[in-house]
Amino acid sequence: MREKARPYTPSETGNGSLELRLASASGNVFGYLWSDEAKDCCGEDYAKILCPKGQGFGLDGLFLMQRPKSGIWTLEHWDEDGSNSFCSNGSRAALVIPGAPEGPLVEALSNGKNILLSRSEDGVGIRMPEGIGFGLSAAPMPLHMPAGFGWIGNPQLVLRVPSVAEVDLPVLAPPLRHHAAIPGGTNVNVVEVVVPGEARIRSWERGVEGETLCCGTGCAVAAAWLASTEGVHVWRFHTAGGETVKWHSSWTWMAVGGTFGFPGRSEGLELYLQTPRFSWGCNADSLSASPWNPTC
pLDDT tens-place string over residues 231-256: 998 889 999 988 888 887 654 554 44
Q: What is the pLDDT of residues 125-175, one digit of tens each?
A: 888 887 777 888 999 999 999 999 998 888 999 999 999 999 999 999 999
State residue 164 phi and psi, 5-degree precision.
-70, -30
Fold of the CATH domain 19-126+260-291: Diaminopimelate Epimerase; Chain A, domain 1 (3.10.310)
Every domain of the chain and the residues it spans: 19-126+260-291, 135-251
- Top CATH class of 135-251 equals alpha beta
Cα dihedral 83, 88, 90, 96 sign: positive
User: pLDDT by residue (tens digit) across 176-189?
Assistant: 999 999 999 999 99
192, 171 contact by CB (below 8 A) = no
Out of 41, 87, 214, 282, which one is annotated catalytic?
Answer: 87
Percent of the chain having pLDDT more than 70?
A: 78
Q: Is 214 a catalytic residue?
A: no
Q: Does 282 participate in catalysis according to the annotation?
A: no
Do the domains 135-251 and 19-126+260-291 match in fold? yes
Among 214, 215, 219, 282, the active-site one is 215
pLDDT at 17 over 70: no
